[in-house]
Structure 1
Amino acid sequence: MNNKYIEMKRKHQKEVNNFPMFFAFSKEQFKEGMKKLGLEPSETNKIYKFGNTGGFYKRTDSAKLKKMLNRHDKEIKEAMKNDTFIFDMFYYELGNHEYSITYELGDTLDSLSLTYEEVQNDKRLLNALDLAIKKIME
């Protein structure tokens, strides 16, 4: 099966993986990460923390990171104009979050930054979700 959603996720993940940032959960990892960015461990004024993920990146790369993440969001929104993409998206995430075992939609919708109400109020989303559920339960 040619799943456009998976293709886009992989493309976006590759871009994120190639972005100059690091994740650290110990002092040693932090020192190694700073070196990777060309900084001394004491130069913490030159980095930003990426939420509560343990991720760090240079302050000077902030605009590039924001631009990349905004582009990813726009690409997904544009792709969601296609019903097949929406089906692929739900089908993948339902499987990824073990819907056929749990019968719970919460994790699937959270991973897509959608609420149950948004899906209920959008016939295209609701139809694609229903089709994906039927397929995953086959």
Structure 2
Amino acid sequence: MAVGIVIVSHSARLAEGVAELAGQMSMGEVTIAVAGGTDDGSIGTSIDKVTAALQKAANPEGTLVLLDLGSAVMVAEMALEMLDPQERERVLISTAPLVEGAVLAAVEASAGSTLQEVAEAANNGHEMPKGKHR
């Protein structure tokens, strides 16, 4: 079983798009759960959505959480506090860039890597070039 991934974003469409891209790159071998937008469909974050996504992606190998910005971090941390201590130990919140990190994490997870290896791969997203700098 592969490490699970949770995408937390202020936008449901953004979270779903990132999950779609990462899922394609992992050939569907990785559970990628999303928590995007508020409960009423507005832009924002929802602890209930994050908690549900954590439950969906949970597995014995662990879960990596990738976030967009701001309150997504706070809401993810609050959702983690609601987990029992054994479950909490198997979840890492990544500081990786959302899109690049999610794609690299999904590819690494699909190879059967450990949670730490998946987190390190996601962090390599910081180094991905996006064109020439002048």
TM-score between both structures, scaled by the size of structure 1: 0.29
Point out the structure with the larger strand share. 2
Point out the structure with the larger helix share. 1
User: Over alpha carbons, which structure has the higher Rg?
Assistant: 1
TM-score between both structures, scaled by the size of structure 2: 0.30
Quick one: higher RCO (CA 8 Å, sep 6+), 1 or 2?
Answer: 2
